[in-house]
Structure 1
Amino acid sequence: MAGPDCLPDYPLTSDLAKRLKSALDAGDEGAVSDLICTQVRHVDAVVELANADWMKHPSAQLPPGVLLGLWTLEYKRELTTPLCIAAARGHAACVSHLLRRGADPNASPGGRGPLHEACLGGHTACAQLLLQRRADPDLLSADGLAPLHLCHTAVSLGCAQVLLEHGASVNRAGGAGRDTPLHVAAQRGLDEHARLYLGRGARVDARNGRGETALSAACGAALRPEEGARSLRLCALLLRGGAAVDARDGDERSPLHKACGQANPGLACLLLRHGADAAALDYGGASPLTRVLQTVACAPQAAPERTVQALLNHGSPTVWPDAFPKVLKTCASAPAVIEVLVNSYPQLRVSESWKEVIPDNVFQAHRPFYASLLALARAPRRLQHLCRCAIRRRLGRKCFHLVPLSPVPKSLQNYLLLEPEGVLH
């Protein structure tokens, strides 16, 4: 953002600014190109495209609701240059034309330079042209971000490559969060970006302002389900690159805590296979198992029982028995989770009063399972179950690895590993 006393060459009320804004709003790329290449007086002219300051003028006619909160308004203007506009829109021919006329590739009256804009849009050809004309590959925006930090979409991979070829720092921390480019790639699930950065010497366990490593940031990212496969590949890549699987952030949360908090069973299993501590506690005293149980009601479609099962098979302590009714109330909509948990105890004191904490519609929808659960209030567990618990206690956190090696039928291996059956015996 520019200061309020900065006078643009083309203020908001000028004819060119109006025409340019209209063309941008309409998506008329031909008109945009013509205006910035032929209509501006000089190549580094500053154009004002927006200005909120008029709202503070005493003569401004504003609704009462706006006036009540007007004291909180900040003075905001959108200032830019022809080169920034061309780079942001991906007009390589215009970028080339302006640069030949002497446009400054590092001018940033609006807080971001042309190279930032090109990277935001993923316009590799524009980024290449700017870098060839000595654009600073590490130029910081008003927010403290280098162009490489703004390569945060899949289409920006080419921009990241040319930035690194021109000397951009792969380990520069930037912005309020002090993220490195690898953190940005991790947060966005950009596995190819991460591969590129690691190949160029990115520090795999660099910490950001929250104490997170890239692996921690990746595990805590709330990505869309369709991005899950990329996230899994990215975390596997980081682990192969030597990432510390149990690195704690500022809240003492491990990557496993975060994967469980995002209801991501594939990622949790990956971390556990690489030796993540299933019994770790954060500053609030929560274990990874606690984190996944807290997400069950929000994400029953994510098969939370698989995460619970994996944690228990890797040595996670189970829920304190006296707290089980609370867990039942929270997780009743996912009976497979309840089944896995109940089967992790040699004997759990079940009460028929537990039915009161199960919503009636949930009880009816899963009646066979909940009937079998309440039946345990009147009968002890079978000897087969007690033998399972004895074997699991003997194997401890190696259950997941040793049970599949045992010379017993697959069905019995599944039984030992708490595979849900739909009812309790």
Structure 2
Amino acid sequence: MSSSDCRPDYPLSSDLVKRLKSALDARDEEAVSTVICTQVRHVDTVIELANDDWMKDPAVQLPPGVLLGNQDPSPLLLDQVSRDASVVLETDKEELSGLWTLEYKRELTSPLCIAAARGHTASVRHLLGRGANPDASPGGRGPLHEACLGAHTACAQLLLQHRADPDLLSAEGLAPLHLCRTAASLGCAQALLEHGASVHRVGGAGRDTPLHVAAQHGLDEHARLYLGRGARVDARNGRGETALSAACGTALRPDEQERGLRLCALLLRHGAAANARDEDERSPLHKACGHARPSLALLLLQHGADPAAVDYGGSSPLARVLQAASCAPQAASARTVQALLNHGSPTVWPDAFPKVLKTCAPAPAVVEVLFNSYPQLRVSESWRKVIPAEVFQAHQPFYRSLLALAGSPRSLKHLCRCAIRRQLGTKGFLAPLLPLPEALHSYLLLEPEGVLH
């Protein structure tokens, strides 16, 4: 029976639910524990905490925000949805100019699910002692799912000791390991594996393995745990991604990026393919460059990632970082471009440079690194028109030096740099091994100076 058909023992309008919701809203943990442990008729009772079932009455006024965009659904479609309140119709707003969504939300739960979700170890022990079913999931997720999602290790261990199924699938097809999504949930993951959970379990619409989930959230310790239990490092999910590909495609906060880098290094040490392509023919390097992560891009290049790879959209890793340069930190974008060019990435077709200038103008360091990868590039006075006035004003020394090269040859020093780089070919990163002053090493590696000569 689906949750939409289930008759709760305590519906939303009941006094018990009102008391429970009041305690939850007030974050009164003692009151929550009292309600679920002493005021329900039986331990596996079904409690309704939310119900947005507005579609059961076709005449009801629609909630604000339910219909979005300028594309109205047909009366026939509305009638169809009114007959099935659990239907969710959603269009992809990237594919259609109008977006409209009809969504029905109902939240059913149980005392054990509430206790596990909030980390009430004593309440979980009490309910299990009274015979609560550790696998009951009236709302689609069981108590073990809730404990893992909240990273409550003690609750997870109690449930597993009472024979909770470590591989129980939720309504979304997710096992508890798929819900170990934070660093704090490592203890839950360890407990699940000790009780027989599978590291190979595929789950959810994305058909991710637990290793994919760890990769998507930058969880290096989880990944180490799963690999130690035999997780396949190059298993593919429903989008054709390996764990390395998923890790490189995740936008991490600055404080998470070091952990994400350790994770990718771990996967590579375990044999992850640096050039594995997903369903869009994007490699891990494409994704790292799309997020302007220079340390990660360099790591992949050091493990043989192909800087010339092209995805289905015709973009190379260099194109991906240039597309992101206007919104990514300038230093990160410039260092990513440097890493690619120093490992033999093809540069941009000269005639397309004005387009790059238009896109990357707010990041002059990116423009400088790329410009210096050409022995000679014909500069036109018309380039001034593609640089926004406020950007030109903010970076006058650089852009004046760029436009001053119109009709002028580059310096002999620069031409020598290009000749040496041409000899090094795809191994430009070896420039520091040459018997030259350190300042020239930086010059050969295209370190930006802030002006052009």
Q: Among 287, 311, 320, which residue is 1:282 paired with?
A: 311
- Structure 1, gaps ≥5 residues long: none
Contact 2:54-2:104 at 8 Å conserved across structures: no
State the TM-score, normalized to the length of structure 2: 0.90
1:397-408 equivalences in 2 (<5 Å): 397-400=426-429, 402-408=430-436
Q: Which amino acid aligns with 2:442?
A: N
Contact 1:4-1:75 at 8 Å conserved across structures: no
Q: Which amino acid aligns with 2:15?
A: D
Using the alignment, how far apart are the partners of 2:59 and 2:341 within structure 1? 67
1:213-362 equivalences in 2 (<5 Å): 213-362=242-391
Q: Among 402, 409, 414, which residue is 1:373 paired with?
A: 402
1:14 alignment counterpart: 14
Using the alignment, how far apart are the partners of 1:262 and 1:302 within structure 2? 13
Using the alignment, how far apart are the partners of 1:58 and 1:170 within structure 2? 46
Contact 1:297-1:331 at 8 Å conserved across structures: yes
Change (3 A) 1:51 1:101: same
Using the alignment, how far apart are the partners of 2:2 and 2:247 within structure 1? 34
2:137 alignment counterpart: 108
Contact 1:300-1:333 at 8 Å conserved across structures: no
Deviation at 1:2, TM superposition (A): 3.4
Change (3 A) 1:280 1:20: same
State the TM-score, normalized to the length of structure 1: 0.96
1:52 alignment counterpart: 52
- Structure 2, gaps ≥5 residues long: 82-100
Change (3 A) 1:250 1:228: same
Contact 2:289-2:321 at 8 Å conserved across structures: yes
> Which has the larger displacement, 127-136 or 402-411?
402-411
Deviation at 1:424, TM superposition (A): 1.3
Using the alignment, how far apart are the partners of 2:351 and 2:323 within structure 1? 17
1:25 alignment counterpart: 25
Using the alignment, how far apart are the partners of 1:6 and 1:119 within structure 2? 25
Q: Which amino acid aligns with 1:314?
A: H
Contact 1:265-1:302 at 8 Å conserved across structures: no
Using the alignment, how far apart are the partners of 2:452 and 2:54 within structure 1? 69
Deviation at 1:367, TM superposition (A): 1.7
Deviation at 1:5, TM superposition (A): 2.9
1:386 alignment counterpart: 415
What CA deviation, in whole Å up to 9, does each residue of 1:231-270 have, x standing for no partner?
A: 1111111111111111110000000000000111111111
RMSD: 1.8
Change (3 A) 1:65 1:267: closer
What CA deviation, in whole Å up to 9, does each residue of 1:45-99 have, x standing for no partner?
A: 1111111225633675667986988756444321111111111111111111111
1:150 alignment counterpart: 179
Contact 2:292-2:324 at 8 Å conserved across structures: yes
Matched residue pairs, number?
424
> Which has the larger displacement, 3-12 or 224-233?
3-12
Contact 1:23-1:32 at 8 Å conserved across structures: yes
Contact 2:3-2:140 at 8 Å conserved across structures: no
Contact 2:55-2:104 at 8 Å conserved across structures: no
> Which has the larger displacement, 299-308 or 134-143?
299-308
Using the alignment, how far apart are the partners of 1:209 and 1:329 within structure 2? 37
What CA deviation, in whole Å up to 9, does each residue of 1:354-412 have, x standing for no partner?
A: 11111122222222221221122121112222221111111111110x21111111111
Using the alignment, how far apart are the partners of 1:215 and 1:78 within structure 2? 35
1:160 alignment counterpart: 189
Using the alignment, how far apart are the partners of 1:98 and 1:223 within structure 2? 39
Contact 2:33-2:120 at 8 Å conserved across structures: yes
1:169 alignment counterpart: 198
3-state SS of 1:185 partner: helix
Using the alignment, how far apart are the partners of 1:87 and 1:378 within structure 2? 72
